[in-house]
Amino acid sequence: MKISLNWIKDYVDLDGIDIKELWYRFTMSAAEVEDVEYAGRDIQNVVVGKVLSVVPHPESKKLKITQVDSGDGILQIVCGAPNVTEGILVPLAKIGGSVKKLSKLGKVKLVGVESFGMLCSAQELGISDDHSGLLILEGDYTPGTDIKSIIDIDDVIIEIDNKSLTNRPDLWGHYGIAREIAAIYGKELKPMQLDSLEGSENRSKVDIAVEDTEKCLRYSGIKLDGAAGLKTSINMKVRLFYCGMRPISPLVDLTNYLMLEMGQPMHAFDSRQVESGIVVRSTREPEIFRTLDGSERNLPEDILLICNKERPVAIAGIMGGENSEVLEDTTSILLESATFDGPSIRKGSTKIGLRTEASARYEKCLDPNITVIAIQRFVKLLKDMNSGITFASALSDVYCRKLEPVDITITKPYIDRYIGNNLPQEKMVEILRSLEFKVEVEGDTFEIKVPTFRATKDITMKVDIIEEITRIYGYDNIAPQTLNIELKPLEYNEERLTDHKIKELLSERFGASEVMSYIWYDNAFNARMGIETNGQVKVMNPQAQDANTLRESMVPGMLGFAEKNEKVYDDFSLFEIGSVFSAANPTEKCEQHKNLCVLLGSKIKSEDELFYDLKGIMTFIAKTLKNVIPEFSACSGEYNWIHPMKSVDISFDGKLMGYIAAVHPSIRKNIGRKVNAAVLEINRDVLHAINTEVIKYRDLSKFPEVKLDYSFLVDSGIMFDKLLEDIRGFKSPLLNSFDFVTSYTGKGLPEGKKSMTFRFVIGSSEKTLASDEINGFAKSIIDYMGELGYMLR
Amino acid sequence: MIEKICNLRDIALGKIKEAASGSEVEELRVKLLGKKGELTEMLKDLKNMALEERKQFGQEANELKNELSELLEVKFREISNNDVKKSLSKGSSFDISLPGTSFQVGSLHPVTIVQKEVERIFTGMGFNIVDGPEVEEEFFNFEALNIPKNHPARDMQDTYWLENGSLLRTHTSPCQVRAMQKYGAPLKVIAPGRCFRNESTDASHENTFFQLEGMMIDKNVSIANLIYVMKTLLSEIFKRDVKVRLRPGFFPFVEPGFELDLNCMICGGSGCPTCKHSGWIELLPCGMVHPNVLRAGGIDPEEYTGFAFGVGLTRLAMMKYGISDIRVLNSGDLRAMEQFSVR
């Protein structure tokens, strides 16, 4: 919202106040000032000029040659404005002067004729966007008079962040802003000039019937006659323009001016269209209505309307109707000053898709107690335009839901404790009173009456009072206080620790890079890749229809990253810990937990290697985090990116944790022509829930161990798991442990066989093994294996 | 016999002195002290000697053996040291500038790095870390935070709604209520997490980003405490004294509510494009927890007060690393991600 400093000065004396500091303090105490613009600074050396003569330009049809009294001699000026005529007073920018977009004017030749200055339009003075002709000054001004002494071109325009005013309906007009400034500086707030409405009392009232008293809190109206020959003063126009509104017609300008001043939207109906009176009702079924901007609006049900006895004439609080707007021949108006329910207006304007200056204010919950004051103010300003205004009706005022001042009792100790500093009691009272709170002091207790313009929703309880005191006092004036808090310790967030550990392991030990992806699928990507998902958790209002499904698996997103990165990297490892979601159907509440997903992509390693890398990584993680070895078994996962052969389930203690899989070839080929890929996806919560295996220390053997490596010939069809189980079946008191060393297939082996090498570590805690004991062990293991069909190679 | 030993000694000493290479020394050792060496051979005669003579001769021979073996050792070391010196003095073509063995360096997401750092600072200040769900219920995201239906604040946060009536949390503030309900007062928690707003993305807007919620509740927690904690915290984060200012800010779940601005670190407050010439950067919203929110968390606002604040973790990471396009963070682009190898 834009605020004119000149306007503020109508109500607060700002003499001796530094303007920059003023807006800093306003930001610090009330609402954020986003921008300060010094209007009129670029307009220099412009005076009143009187056009003495106008003759056509010999060489140009458009241009004219004028002689202009500059008050300081007569100047020849070439002018192209269509409305230049003899005798008018216009702004004259002299040589060396500046106007919008033209600084330091010089003498120029226009189509061969010299021109010593420039006659200006309102646009060139920066006070309008009207460039249709010269700004003709009405009034009797001496040529040479500085234009800025006639028109308030110089002003400081402040842009306040609307967001910071959401809870302050009272700040949606200049008077409210002036009140804040007066409070901040401890200055007097001057009252507004009002008309007493004297002479209206004995007229008959306008018939106003409010049917929907939920949405209409108060409706005040008065009929005024004699509204002819009105003119909006140039300075009023400038203020409207500076505050972002376009002057339209005197009556509309005046309602806008009043809204900008008091924050109270008003509407002027042509009396002829509302002879029968006013009915305020809501639409019961959809209606079509043409608003004064010429648009046909489809109104759904439950929209509040202002109607005459026959038909709607306005959408309450949003926009008037074309059928009842004031016209050029309008001389009698019905002035509406009403308060509507904020949330209803907000809902209505969202439904219709029409947000206006008026609706923006109503949404904030305006104070119903200012409708009549606004009428008084309007009448005063209207009479300033035309003293012949008369009352054609008495004031009608239907006040359906009266808003009473809010009473709050608070004590100084309470305030001190909440602030953490002791503020002087007098200062507190002074601040509250400057904001028009009524305060009765009884010892250290304050009985406070909150003015209704603050009580529509903003201020309802004790802490609100504390905010008022502290913000005006200045948050920067509050001395920081260390705190003394005794805490019962909470459980430490172990999940977080698990996450951080996993991330460290993967990045530091395995050189993987952490990424973050969206929690919804990219349906288009999935389709392109042939990825099938069955996410049942749906977003109702996604940014794009392709992003309407929350992921049950992180793999599709990872594959998207793989596609992106394989173009640049030959070998890459990505991982992420993120949320996944599942539900039986879209209407059901979803289950959510965190998954860890790792993707290895490579043009160097085979997918088999990547698969085994992931198995190794998984084992490493489980061993490092939980001191356990995970169990791998045939993959039960059904996602179509899982390779049917090269995939395993990961579990521990019978609980399924996730899976490792080479990416299914039919999808892998879509990721990139040469890239191999494998993924690991586990439920982090299941991993986290595993009890860490306590480390049991074994005393070091005093006697050396012996390592024996044997390679066995194994049928290539036999899985490692089976072999392992068979070896585990071998019992010997000497065997401390055994490990898989390597496998070999290829030259030198019989057809259909692979060579599997194991290392057996044997020893005794009582003595050094003698060679016959070692040989004995060797014989027994070789015999044992041989019986199972695993011949020594 | 003694003469023989003396002779052998003289000859041996001369030869040892003359030896010029390690192999010569070794040859000498074998020749003198080896199994068939001269001294060994001499000792073989011992058995033919009379007891007295044998004793004397044996002693002499042993002394000589020790002496020679030490001399040989010294000579060998001397020669091999000289050899090393000689070989090193030749100069070499060894290229010390060839790169070291390459190990793949991994990386953490910049938000993770910043999050860990902030978590560490808060844990040091006695805060506990809590989490909340990303798919959240309307009650926790709005109602419990004093944002009833039709409240304009619901417009400010464009919400992703799910077909099942839940929503994607628009802020981490629901964690406040969940933590209060779970732990009660007094309470000192932070809740970092991912949030979602339905808005179109550009260089400075993302629909998915990280926040960190903080909350502290106890008897007599005051505005002055809030200012103290915020200042301390920011000095820790930015690793230097910071100048901050508090000004009114409107958030339904706090009263009074503040915007905390940080004195612009680029220009030091004199005004620059980064701070839009104001000298201040809007950094974090905070405020005293609204009594209605305390009540929603099951805490009596007459007995307890508290403050809450929100830190834009994503924004912090962008500030820290000078990332100008927010979209990079969710792009999975390794060219960007692999830069964050330092934590």
Contacts of A550 in chain B (CB under 8 A): 135, 162
Residue A666: inside a domain, yes or no?
yes
Q: Is B327 in the same domain as B227?
A: yes
- Whether residue B116 lies within 8 A of chain A, CB to CB, comes out as yes
The set of residues, in sequence order, having a beta carbon less than 8 Å from that of B180 and lying 6+ positions away, is B187, B215, B217, B294, B296, B297, B298, B299
- Give the model confidence (pLDDT) of B287-342 as tens digits: 999 999 999 999 999 999 999 999 999 998 998 888 989 999 999 999 999 999 86
Cβ(A259)–Cβ(A174) below 8 Å: no
Which amino acids of A are annotated as binding site for Mg(2+), given as ranges? 458, 464, 467-468
Q: Is A125 in the same domain as A267?
A: no
Of residues A524, A596, A592, the one with CA closest to residue A560: A524
Q: Is B25 in the same domain as B75?
A: yes
How many Å apart are CA A537 and CA A552, to the nearest integer?
9
Which 3 state secondary structure label does DSSP give A17?
Answer: coil
Of residues A4, A293, A247, A251, the one with CA closest to residue A130: A247
pLDDT for A485 equals 64
Tell me which chain A residue has its CA closest to the CA of residue B228.
Answer: A480
**CA separation, residue A617 to residues A338, A606, A686 (Å):** 71, 16, 17
Q: Is B196 in the same domain as B299?
A: yes
Q: Is A469 in the same domain as A541?
A: no
Select the residue of A475, A560, A587 nearest B164 (Cβ to Cβ): A587
Report strand pairing: B128-129 vs B187-196.
parallel
E strand or H helix at B129, and its extent?
strand B128-129
Ranges assigned E (strand) in A74-145:
74-79, 89-98, 108-110, 113-115, 118-119
Of residues B105, B150, B168, the one with CA closest to residue B342: B105
Cβ(A648)–Cβ(A664) below 8 Å: no
Of residues A161, A165, A184, A157, the one with CA closest to residue A28: A184
How many Å apart are CA A51 and CA A117, to the nearest integer?
13
pLDDT for B1 equals 67
Q: Is A74 exposed, middle or buried (0-12, 13-18, 19+ CB in 10 A)?
A: middle
Select the residue of A475, A517, A588 nearest B164 (Cβ to Cβ): A588
The set of residues, in sequence order, having a beta carbon less than 8 Å from that of A747 and lying 6+ positions away, is none
Residue A439: inside a domain, yes or no?
yes
Q: Is A308 in the same domain as A233?
A: yes
How many Å apart are CA A279 and CA A79, to the nearest integer?
54
For residue A41, the one-letter residue type is R
Which 3 state secondary structure label does DSSP give A791?
Answer: strand
Structural domain that includes position A581: 494-689
pLDDT for A366 equals 96
Cα A352–A355–A358 angle (5° rounding)?
120
Select the residue of B108, B163, B249 nearest A503 (Cβ to Cβ): B108
Which amino acids of A are annotated as binding site, given as ranges? 458, 464, 467-468
Of residues A397, A252, A378, the one with CA closest to residue A339: A397
pLDDT for A289 equals 95
Q: Is A434 in the same domain as A542?
A: no
Q: Quote the minimal CA–CA distance from B98 to chain A in Å.
A: 22
**CA separation, residue B260 to residues A91, A753, B242, B281 (Å):** 47, 72, 12, 9
How many Å apart are CA A354 and CA B120, to the nearest integer?
49
How many Å apart are CA A526 and CA A515, to the nearest integer?
19
- How close are the terminal C-alpha atoms of chain B, in Å? 80
Q: Is A353 in the same domain as A224?
A: yes
Select the residue of B225, B231, B329 nearest A516 (Cβ to Cβ): B329
Q: Is A652 in the same domain as A526?
A: yes
Cβ(A37)–Cβ(A156) below 8 Å: yes
206-235 in chain B: CB under 8 A from chain A: 207-208, 216, 218, 220-225, 227-229, 231
How many Å apart are CA A34 and CA B275, to the nearest integer?
11
Q: Is B63 in the same domain as B162?
A: no
Q: Is A311 in the same domain as A278?
A: yes
446-485 in chain A: CB under 8 A from chain B: 461, 463-464, 466-467, 470-471, 475-476, 478-483, 485
Tell me which chain A residue has its CA closest to the CA of residue B117.
Answer: A500
Q: Is A551 in the same domain as A661?
A: yes
B171's tokens:
């802020």
Q: Is B308 in the same domain as B175?
A: yes
Three-state helix/strand/coil letters over B71-102:
HHHHHHHHHHHHHHHHHHHCCCCCCCCCCCCC
Residue A572: inside a domain, yes or no?
yes
Select the residue of A28, A464, A510 nearest B245 (Cβ to Cβ): A28
Q: Is A710 in the same domain as A678?
A: no
Q: What are phi and psi of A76, to 5 degrees?
A: -90, 125
Which 3 state secondary structure label does DSSP give B32?
Answer: helix
Cβ separation A574–B223 shorter than 8 A: no
Cβ separation A490–B229 shorter than 8 A: no
Tell me which chain B residue has its CA closest to the CA of residue A492.
Answer: B128
Q: A49-68 burial, b if ≥16 CB within 10 A, otherwise e? A: bbbeebeebeeeeebbbbeb
Contacts of A512 in chain B (CB under 8 A): 106
Residue A196: inside a domain, yes or no?
no
Edge-to-edge strand ranges of the sheet holding A445-450: A406-411, A445-450, A438-442
Strand partners, A442: A445
| Total residues found in chain A within this entry | 793
Residue B103: inside a domain, yes or no?
no
| Total residues found in chain B within this entry | 343
Q: Is B45 in the same domain as B154?
A: no
Contacts of B161 in chain A (CB under 8 A): 539-541
Contacts of A583 in chain B (CB under 8 A): 164
% of chain B at pLDDT higher than 70: 98
How many Å apart are CA B37 and CA B30, to the nearest integer?
6
Q: What are phi and psi of A550, to 5 degrees?
A: -75, 145
Cβ(B281)–Cβ(B234) below 8 Å: no
Cβ separation B183–A461 shorter than 8 A: no
Cβ separation B168–A539 shorter than 8 A: yes
For each successive 10 residues of chain A (793 residues), what is the average pLDDT? 97 94 94 92 95 93 94 94 94 94 90 94 94 92 96 96 90 96 95 95 93 96 93 96 94 97 96 92 94 93 93 95 90 96 93 94 95 97 93 96 92 95 95 96 96 92 95 93 70 85 95 97 96 95 92 97 96 97 96 97 96 96 94 93 96 95 96 96 95 87 91 92 92 92 90 93 90 93 94 91
Ranges assigned E (strand) in A161-311:
208-210, 216-225, 266-270, 278-282, 287-290, 296-299, 304-307
Residue B46 has pLDDT above 80, yes or no: no
pLDDT for A464 equals 95
Strand partners, A115: A108
Edge-to-edge strand ranges of the sheet holding A753-762: A735-744, A753-762, A706-715, A791-792
In this structure, what CATH number is given to the domain that contains residue A512?
Answer: 3.30.930.10
In this structure, what CATH number is given to the domain that contains residue B218?
Answer: 3.30.930.10
Tally the domains of chain A.
Answer: 6
A153's tokens:
């071109």
Residue with tokens 């290479």: B21
Q: Is B145 in the same domain as B18?
A: no
Tell me which chain A residue has its CA closest to the CA of residue B231.
Answer: A480
Q: Is B43 in the same domain as B128?
A: no
Q: Is B200 in the same domain as B74?
A: no
The set of residues, in sequence order, having a beta carbon less than 8 Å from that of A586 and lying 6+ positions away, is A536, A537, A538, B163, B164
Q: Is B11 in the same domain as B130?
A: no
Residue B97: inside a domain, yes or no?
no
Q: Is A241 in the same domain as A315?
A: yes
Tell me which chain A residue has its CA closest to the CA of residue B218.
Answer: A485
Report strand pairing: B244-248 vs A676-683.
unpaired
How many Å apart are CA A45 and CA A144, to the nearest integer?
10
Regarding an ipTM greater than 0.85, the answer is no
Residue B216: inside a domain, yes or no?
yes
Cβ(A203)–Cβ(A455) below 8 Å: no
Tally the domains of chain B.
Answer: 2
489-518 in chain A: CB under 8 A from chain B: 489-493, 495-496, 500, 503-504, 506-518
pLDDT category of residue B343 using cuts at 50, 70 and 90: low
9-28 in chain B: CB under 8 A from chain A: none
Longest dimension (CA), chain B: 126
Select the residue of B109, B189, B208 nearest A518 (Cβ to Cβ): B208
How many Å apart are CA A620 and CA A689, to the nearest integer?
17
Residue with tokens 């709604």: B161
Residue A488: inside a domain, yes or no?
no
- Whether residue B50 lies within 8 A of chain A, CB to CB, comes out as no
Residue B99: inside a domain, yes or no?
no
In this structure, what CATH number is given to the domain that contains residue A23?
Answer: 3.30.56.10
How many Å apart are CA A316 and CA A300, to the nearest integer?
14
pLDDT for A191 equals 96
Q: Is B210 in the same domain as B282?
A: yes
Structural domain that includes position B214: 110-337
Q: Quote the minimal CA–CA distance from A245 to chain B in Å.
A: 24
DSSP state of B127: P
Instruction: Spell out the alpha helix ranges (H) of A161-283.
Output: 174-185, 234-242, 250-262
Q: Is A561 in the same domain as A450?
A: no
The set of residues, in sequence order, having a beta carbon less than 8 Å from that of A281 and lying 6+ positions away, is A211, A212, A304, A305, A307
Of residues A650, A573, A658, the one with CA closest to residue A619: A650
Residue B182: inside a domain, yes or no?
yes
Residue B171: inside a domain, yes or no?
yes
Residue A700: inside a domain, yes or no?
no
Strand partners, A575: A514, A598
Residue B116 has pLDDT above 80, yes or no: yes
Domain boundary among A153, A171, A193: A153
How many Å apart are CA A756 and CA A741, to the nearest integer?
8
- Whether residue B181 lies within 8 A of chain A, CB to CB, comes out as no
Q: Is B117 in the same domain as B242?
A: yes
Residue B102: inside a domain, yes or no?
no
